[in-house]
Homo-oligomer: A and B are copies of this chain.
């Protein structure tokens, strides 16, 4: 644990919805079975996806959820941002030691490197669509 699983869980959930495991709507309880966790945790993740406009939900007795767009129009980057997954790496946050100029300026240098790396990672994610994932799943 301690590592962020929400991203892969979110992809799992969306893949499940995209496969249209059945009709037009699936309940969180149903999804929870597939991911093997509690319905409540599914809903928490789903809530973020919903806020990001990737899924739509209906409340009430016949409550359910479904994809808000076609699987082709959802990239892994959309999902990555929706669940607020962690950056490529984290910059430490020690107080600066004035006597050492490395200590004082390393942060900006690291930020520059992080920006570049993050961009590379995100554009890679952007190239993968949910439809691609679904087709990989079905291929097996």
Residues of A within 8 A of B (CB): 2-5, 7-9, 11-12, 15-16, 19, 21, 33-37, 76, 80, 85-86, 88-92, 94-95, 97, 99-106, 108-110, 112-113, 116-117, 119-121, 123-125, 127-128, 133, 136-138, 140
Are B4 and A90 within 8 A (Cβ)?
yes
Are B124 and A90 within 8 A (Cβ)?
no
Q: Closest Cβ of chain B: how far from A7's Cβ, in Å?
A: 5
A4 nearest in chain B by CB position: B90
- Contacts A102-B16, A121-B120, A133-B113; A89 near B85 (Cβ below 8 A): yes
Are B102 and A19 within 8 A (Cβ)?
yes
Are A105 and B3 within 8 A (Cβ)?
no
Are B33 and A106 within 8 A (Cβ)?
no
Give the distance in Å from the alpha carbon of A108 to the alpha carbon of B34 in the complex: 16
Are A9 and B92 within 8 A (Cβ)?
yes
Are A137 and B90 within 8 A (Cβ)?
no
Q: Closest Cβ of chain B: how far from A134's Cβ, in Å?
A: 8
Q: Closest Cβ of chain B: how far from A77's Cβ, in Å?
A: 10
